[in-house]
């Protein structure tokens, strides 16, 4: 498909004129093929794997820096203060100063800590998250790896974070670290279920576990205007909301950031980490947020597809990163708006509310597919509203019921009293 493009740019003097649309759209792929073309035969296999990996790490490394500054600026705006504005233009180089500070800080390891595990925990936290970034399609043909079970791979490597949290909490020999680790693991295991359930709905409707094919299943437009993204269907809308609620918990973001609730347990499993090890934990957390946001964009918001046919001239990866930016802004907004939950509220919310609704959403998707055969006038609207009522009414009623059964009164502690 892009063979002439490779020839055009790798052959000497064989440059061919390409329009700006094609140049931006195909540019990254051409650049990769051009770089690979220089190498000897044996090294090509390695380079084809290595170049996308380096590109993904570089792009998300930079995005990590910018996101930390953006988060601080946006939180500042929400709290009616300026936020960082001293380093670089409008404070946007603050992350470089922070990086230097973290690098030059002393690395303190407690005397009674298990040194090996204490050292390994940040690595076990960051490496799998970076791996999970590999299967997300960033644009047309822009994916580092497309295994047939891409979605499964994503969740599989993500489960290593639980082991990493445990390693960090246990090896520190600190009560607060261990409490934070137990909270983190309880939270991650509970919220993995609604996360996977809402993703499963998409797998069922798209008929594939490959993220590239899931994005392709969302191409095209209804009546030429409304994009065929999954979020435009009732089950997709409900799925996105469930997915984002579970994703905030799975990536330890506020209001579900109990594992590091500083007002209760200092810094959770990161209490005994300082300097660059702490920075790596921080980076793993942000990479995790990018990964689940990217997955939400891929599953529900059409991945790299443009929202309108006329806008398809813009490069596909531009659309992906625009949507990713919106998701990150949503995470920051939620963090600035909602207070932190209590542990039992958190677990009740996951098990009693999100999980049943996730299972119900699976049924709604089945009904949606079953009603696809209707052909009378206005069938589309009736189908849409019927499915929305099927998931929306239980969501509201079940929520009310749960709230009503909770009376206000003194709390009974099972083990502590």
Partner 1 sequence: MQDLLFYVFAAVALIAGFLAVANPFSRNPLASALFLAVALVAVSGLFVLLHAFFLGAVQILIYAGAVMVLFLFVIMLLDLREEQKRRARKVAAGLASALALALAALISAAALAGGGPADPPALEGGARALGRALFTDFLLPFEIVAVLLVAAMVGVVWLSRKEAA
Q: Which residues bind partner 1 (CB under 8 A)?
A: 45, 117, 147-149, 152-153, 155-157, 159-160, 162-163, 166-167, 170, 182, 185, 189, 209, 414
Three-class SS state of 307: coil
- CB 390, min distance to partner 1, A: 25
In the block, tokens 């793993």 appear at 284
Q: Indicate the angle between helix axes 275-300 and 175-206, nearest 10 degrees.
A: 20
- CB 417, min distance to partner 1, A: 12
Comparison of 192 and 260: residue with beta carbon closer to partner 1: 192
Comparison of 8 and 366: residue with beta carbon closer to partner 1: 366
Comparison of 121 and 289: residue with beta carbon closer to partner 1: 121
Comparison of 29 and 149: residue with beta carbon closer to partner 1: 149
- CB 182, min distance to partner 1, A: 8
Comparison of 90 and 155: residue with beta carbon closer to partner 1: 155
Q: How many CB atoms lie within 10 A of CB 262?
A: 11
- CB 158, min distance to partner 1, A: 8
Comparison of 67 and 157: residue with beta carbon closer to partner 1: 157
Give the angle 323-161-352 at the CA atoms, nearest 5°. 75
- CB 170, min distance to partner 1, A: 7
Cα 370 to Cα 380: distance, rounded to the nearest angstrom: 13
Closest CA to 243 of 302, 196, 305, 180: 196
Give the angle 70-72-77 at the CA atoms, nearest 5°. 90
Which residues are 227's β-sheet partners? 221
Cα 319 to Cα 311: distance, rounded to the nearest angstrom: 10
Query: Which residues 6+ apart lie within 8 Å of 206 measured at CB?
Result: 213, 214, 217, 218, 230
Which residues are 226's β-sheet partners? 222
Comparison of 204 and 382: residue with beta carbon closer to partner 1: 204
- CB 209, min distance to partner 1, A: 5
Comparison of 9 and 164: residue with beta carbon closer to partner 1: 164
Comparison of 159 and 337: residue with beta carbon closer to partner 1: 159
Q: Which helix (H) or strand (E) holds 323?
A: helix 316-337
- CB 255, min distance to partner 1, A: 24
In the block, tokens 């925990």 appear at 121
- CB 375, min distance to partner 1, A: 30
- CB 159, min distance to partner 1, A: 3
- CB 100, min distance to partner 1, A: 34
Q: Are 231 and 298 in contact (CB under 8 A)?
A: no
On the 0-12 / 13-18 / 19+ scale of CB atoms within 10 A, 26 is buried
Closest CA to 25 of 9, 46, 58, 2: 2
DSSP code per residue over 124-153: HHHHHHHHHGGGS--BTTB-S---TTHHHH
Comparison of 138 and 153: residue with beta carbon closer to partner 1: 153
Q: Which helix (H) or strand (E) holds 221?
A: strand 221-222
What tokens were used for 228?
Answer: 């065929």
Cα 140 to Cα 315: distance, rounded to the nearest angstrom: 9
């Amino acid at each position: 498909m892009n063979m002439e493009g490779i020839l055009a740019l790798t052959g000497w003097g064989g440059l061919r004129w390409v329009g700006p649309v094609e140049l931006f759209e195909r540019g990254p792929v051409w650049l990769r093929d051009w770089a690979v073309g220089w190498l000897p035969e044996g090294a090509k296999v390695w380079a084809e794997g290595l170049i996308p990996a380096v590109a993904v790490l570089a792009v998300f490394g930079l995005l990590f820096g910018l996101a930390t500054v953006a988060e601080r600026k946006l939180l500042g705006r929400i709290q009616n203060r300026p936020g960082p504005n001293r380093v670089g233009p409008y404070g946007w180089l603050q992350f470089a100063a922070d990086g230097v500070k973290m690098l030059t800080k002393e690395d303190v390891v407690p005397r009674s800590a298990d040194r090996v595990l204490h050292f390994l925990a940040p690595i076990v936290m960051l490496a799998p998250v970076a791996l999970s970034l590999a299967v997300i399609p960033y644009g047309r043909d822009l994916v580092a790896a497309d295994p047939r079970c891409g979605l499964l791979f994503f969740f599989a490597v993500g489960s290593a974070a639980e082991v990493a949290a445990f390693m960090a909490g246990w090896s520190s020999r600190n009560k607060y670290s261990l409490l934070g680790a137990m909270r983190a693991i309880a939270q991650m295991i509970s919220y993995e279920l609604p996360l996977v359930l809402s993703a499963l709905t998409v797998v069922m409707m798209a008929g594939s576990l490959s993220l590239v094919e899931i994005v392709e299943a969302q191409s095209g437009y209804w009546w030429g205007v409304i994009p065929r993204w999954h979020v435009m269907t009732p089950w997709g809308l409900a799925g996105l909301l469930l997915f984002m609620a579970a994703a905030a918990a799975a990536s330890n973001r506020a209001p579900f950031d109990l594992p590091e609730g500083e007002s209760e347990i200092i810094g959770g499993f990161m209490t005994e980490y300082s300097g660059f090890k702490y920075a790596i934990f921080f980076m793993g957390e942000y990479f995790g947020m990018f990964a689940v946001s990217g997955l939400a964009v891929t599953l529900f918001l059409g991945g790299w597809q443009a929202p309108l046919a006329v806008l398809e001239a813009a490069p596909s990866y531009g659309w992906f990163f625009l949507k990713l930016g919106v998701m990150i802004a949503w995470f920051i907004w939620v963090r600035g708006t909602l207070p932190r939950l209590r542990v039992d509220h958190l677990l009740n919310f996951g098990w009693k509310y999100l999980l049943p609704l996730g299972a119900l959403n699976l049924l709604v998707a089945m009904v949606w597919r079953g009603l696809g055969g209707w052909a009378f006038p206005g069938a589309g609207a009736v189908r849409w509203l019927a499915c929305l009522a099927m998931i929306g009414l239980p969501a509201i009623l079940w929520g009310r019921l749960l709230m009503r059964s909770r009376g206000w009164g003194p709390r009974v502690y099972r083990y502590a009293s």
